[in-house]
Amino acid sequence: WVRMVTAQTPTNIAVIKYWGKRDETLILPVNDSISVTLDPAHLCTTTTVAVSPSFDQDRMWLNGKEISLSGGRYQNCLREIRAQACDVEDEEKGIKIAKKDWEKLHVHVASYNNFPTAAGLASSAAGFACLVFALAKLMNAKEDNSELSAIARQGSGSACRSLFGGFVKWIMGKAEDGSDSLAVQLVDEKHWDELVIIIAVVSSRQKETSSTTGMRDSVETSLLLQHRAKEVVPKRVKQMEEAIKNRDFGSFAQLTCADSNQFHAVCLDTCPPIFYMNDTSHRIISCVEKWNRSEETPQVAYTFDAGPNAVLIAHNRKAATQLLQKLLFYFPPSSDADLNSYVIGDKSI
Ligand code: DP6
């Protein structure tokens, strides 16, 4: 027999960034972070997990290509989720798996991203969240999504925030064993559904410095990172929670842009400095800043992760339409900026 489960998980974009670990193995951050989870129809991972007595080892395929599961991050997730496995009884298929059997059984995993991985956008966040969620269903684990988030976190920090829709907070926690470092949902996806997220793909080249290496260097060398984690983020997280609760777009945009800019300032303050944004990214920032200043309240927020692509969050459909017009005007398809716009959240624009 074979028992199979398929799950789908969208990626998330941080509006208050996670950058820096206090424990590299358990993946414990130096500050809280807040993200918005994208519409499941876009930028998501679909993962099928299967178990069968005929499987003689754990194996995984990513976008059709077999990858090694020997890395510590996969092993940690698999071990933690196996420890939570329960009895499974599927009368229809005549499958009966006792809790104690899970230690001997092996799993096969097939995972697909619906977005080119090379664009550096369909990050590890959706991947690990989906893996952990699918395995939990396969093994009938009773954990709630916050408890599962603490397992996904050990695959990739940002993954813990993809277990929920809407706006999500990753609480850094205090415990040394990481048991209180998990994600909670602040508001669900219906709370602020007029927002439209547009991702401007500035370059589809893979990033040069991975987040993991970059943040390690920042923790070791950046004084600004220490100031940010202790003094800036705690206050900003509170303000951001208020802005989200009240759907206050002006404050939301100001905090989102400021936090992205400080994250990239930390990267510059790192030795050797890390450059994730390029000229096109900077031009997008200038364009949005200029526009926001010409209006009574900001219309668009920008944020950049560990790469040059811009994530633009528009206040509503009208602002999103205007934004696309501006992007097409400043970066026509024939220009060398290599800018393709992907509309996330509302295909009809
Ligand atoms: C800039 O979660 O990819 O996107 O925990 O080492 O796997 P690891 O790092 P990762 O870092 C994400 C960094 C970021 C900001 C964020 O998503 O909060």
Q: Is the CB of 303 under 6 A from ligand 1?
A: no
pLDDT of residue 39: 85
Could you identify the atom of ligand 1 that is nearest to the CA of residue 306? 1
CA distance 194 to 185: 18
106 membership: H or E segment, kind and range = strand 106-113
What is the overall mean pLDDT for the chain?
91
Report which residue type is found at 153.
Answer: R
124: confidence class by pLDDT, cuts 50, 70, 90 = confident
Question: Please, what is the Cα angle at 313 between 152 and 245, to 5 degrees?
Answer: 70
**Residue 163 confidence (pLDDT) above 90:** yes
Cβ-contact 148, 132 below 8 angstroms:
yes
Q: Is the CB of 14 under 6 A from ligand 1?
A: yes
Percent of the chain with pLDDT over 90: 81
pLDDT of residue 348: 31
> HSE on the CB side for 257, CA within 13 Å?
23
Question: Which whole number is the average pLDDT over 181-189?
Answer: 97
- The verdict on ipTM greater than 0.90 is yes
Poorest-pLDDT segment among 91-95, 188-192, 247-251: 91-95
Query: What pTM was computed for the model?
Result: 0.95
* 74 C-alpha to ligand 1 centroid (Å): 16
* 177 C-alpha to ligand 1 centroid (Å): 20
Question: Which whole number is the average pLDDT over 225-247?
Answer: 98
More confident residue, 204 or 120: 204
> What six digits make up the tokens of 242?
């208020």
Smallest CA-to-CA distance from 228 within 20, 9, 2 is with 20
Q: Is the CB of 305 under 6 A from ligand 1?
A: yes
- Which residue among 24, 153, 158 has the greatest number of ligand 1 atoms within 8 angstroms of its CB, and so is best to mutate? 158
Question: Please, what is the Cα angle at 154 between 148 and 158, to 5 degrees?
Answer: 85
